[in-house]
Chain A
Amino acid sequence: MRFSAHQRANAAFAGLTGSAALVILLALAVILGDVAVNGFPRFSWEFVSQSPSEGMTAGGIFPAIFGTVLLVLLMTVAVIPVGVITAIYLFEYARQESLFARAVRSAVYNLAGVPSIVFGLFGVGFFIQFVGGNIDRFFYDGRVLWGQPAILWASLTLAVLTLPVVIVTTEEALRTVPREHREAALALGSTKFEAIFKIVLPQALPGILTGAILAVARGAGETAPILFTGAAYFLPHLPTRAYDQFMHLGYHVYVLATQSPDIEATKPILYGTVLVLLLVTVILNFLAITLRSRLRRKFA
């Protein structure tokens, strides 16, 4: 009798908590499903390879894809070396209790918590006004060239934003390399620098790659920091110079969804754009998650 009362309580509670998990999974399924169902009819080679036409109601989104890819590429070039070296410092060089190491660690943690819109303000205040403005003053007699929104400034802003992602995943990757490998290299007479760069780093490469993928996925999806550091709604030309503005998938979604005069006419393009953005980020995230869980299993 008592046994069955227990069983009923257990089943009821498992059902209650399980349904909470189910609601979350369902929400995820509805979001992905809605975008897939409404977006796929629009999806075609023309859509990803052509420019928009007729006031954004026809044509494709190629310039937005191009801009996003270029933006993320520049960001990666900036963030990977700095992030990886910072992680090497934290894991291989720093005395863990030293004040400097603790300050770096706390800075990384706090950086991860800064709201993305504040990064946007930082991009305007630091990169555009301060760095760009001073370049213009010193080299171009005050002609405004660098002191305005540009793909370079947007990508550097995103690089600062994704720095914690790269640092944390790289540190995790370094942790998976057995200590004996370092000791063996040192015992054979290599310097610490050689041991780390010739022995440890190659082994940590898959983990560092995971971090790079996560950073790219994050950077490709962030819209708030680029709103006023370089994104434009429509440009007749693709960006070719570092001080050009660029079109961007996330910004395109934002403007199409909120500022379109005729939402029904732009809706197919809007859903198509969301689908492309979602495909890019979901595939990258999925790749990183599987890569990471495989690595964890291998080294656990």
Chain B
Amino acid sequence: MARRRLINRLAAWTIAAVAFSAIAAVALIFLFVVREAVPLFNSAEVREEVTPAQMVMPQAWKEGAEPSFSWQPASKVPKYSLAPLVAGTFKVTIVALLFAVPLAVFAALFSAEFASSRLREIVKPAIELLAGIPSVVLGFFALMVLATFFQDTFGFHFRLNAIVAGAGLGLTIIPVVYTVSEDALTAVPRAYREASLALGASRARTAWSIVLPAASPGIFAAVVLGFGRAMGETMIVLMASGNAAILSADPTVSVRTIPATIAAEMGEVVVGGAHWSVLFFLGSLLFLVTLSFNGLGGWYVARLRRKIGGTA
């Protein structure tokens, strides 16, 4: 008996210790990604090649030249302006949201308000399946099929550009936006719908003017989560964006994002060098930004879930 109780006690401790691994994982990721970026701030050798100020402010790269933002880490005078990469990341992400959010929210509205249960049984698993397609396959599809189709249709000057990458990226965030939006729509109390219908509004009017506004915090959370997901996605933009670090608002020119830059350049850098540190700095930036977007979205979703729990 004493032995069984001892085992029981030991097991409880071991299990709690193993559960700590999740916390350790997040802490280690943060620690070891940031650690490699630190030389940017304290290593004389690295700072000789690049300083944080040079990464942020426009630089005159030649005597008397106009100051500009430029990302050319492999040139004779390495240039590390982050502006083209940050702007590129936002540009592609916004294009992806413009593709994905209307489609996903309308599809969620369809599932929640109009679809028969049998139709819903087709739409939901299909979208789950879309979520299961590896991003490298979606990148491949954007590169081989979408890019050609878009160029033939719209006659883009650059075959690979922010619109092609954004469309491919949209495919990965549709499942997230759809799932969270659908949760939010079904969480709207049935009494709202019944009241609206009883007052003589059509089902369409009810869906648009009552259910959608009532679910808007949840849909906002869906968009925020989609934003975070799109920003961190690597393979699709790496394959379909053209990867040229051009600072421009035009979505039809090639673009280079932060994740794609890390993926493309990490394999060729000197361990511990300036370029290495800058890439880890970009990784830390990405980590913190996506973490805050996910935190914001998750906070909304958790609040939503509590509300559902309260009314059910």
Question: Which residues does A use to contact B, with CB under 8 Å?
Answer: 5-7, 9-10, 12-14, 16-18, 20-21, 23-25, 27-28, 30-31, 34-35, 81-82, 85-86, 88-90, 93-94, 100, 103-104, 107-111, 113-122, 124-126, 129-130, 160, 163-164, 167, 191-194, 217-218, 220-224, 227-228, 250, 253-254, 257-258, 270, 274, 277-278, 281-282, 284-286, 289, 293
Q: Are B19 and A223 in contact, with the CB atoms below 8 A?
A: no
A-contact 0/1 string along B282-309, CB 8 Å cutoff: 0100110011011100100000000000
If A10-B204, A223-B135 touch, does A18 touch B16 (CB 8 Å cutoff)?
no
| CB < 8 Å A-B pair total | 272
Q: Is the CB of A17 within 8 A of B16?
A: no
Tally chain B residues at the interface, Cβ within 8 Å.
Answer: 91
Binding site for A on B (CB under 8 A): 4-5, 7-8, 11-12, 14-16, 18-23, 25-26, 28-29, 32-33, 35-36, 102-107, 109-111, 113-115, 122-123, 125-130, 132-141, 143-145, 171, 174, 178, 202-205, 207-208, 228-229, 231-235, 238-239, 259, 262-263, 266-267, 271, 279-280, 283, 286-287, 290-291, 293-295, 298
Once the chains bind, are B8 and A125 in contact (CB under 8 Å)?
no
CB atoms of A103 and B239 under 8 A apart: no
Closest B residue to A7 using CB positions: B202
Residues of A with C-beta under 8 A to B104: 20, 24
Residue of B nearest to A225 (CB): B234
A21 vs B279: C-alpha distance in the bound complex, in angstroms? 39
Using A257-B144, A282-B132 as known contacts, say yes or no to A193 and B106 having CB atoms under 8 A apart.
Answer: no
- Cβ distance A188 to chain B, nearest Cβ, rounded Å: 13
Q: Are B19 and A104 neighbours in the complex by a CB distance under 8 Å?
A: yes
Complex CA distance for A7 and B202, rounded to whole angstroms: 8
Smallest beta-carbon distance A236→chain B, Å:
20
Q: How far is the CA of A31 from the CA of B114 in the complex (A)?
A: 27
- A111 and B19 CA atoms in complex are apart in Å by 14
Q: Would B12 and A121 count as touching, CB distance under 8 A?
A: no
5 closest A-B pairs by CB: A115-B232, A221-B134, A20-B106, A13-B204, A113-B294
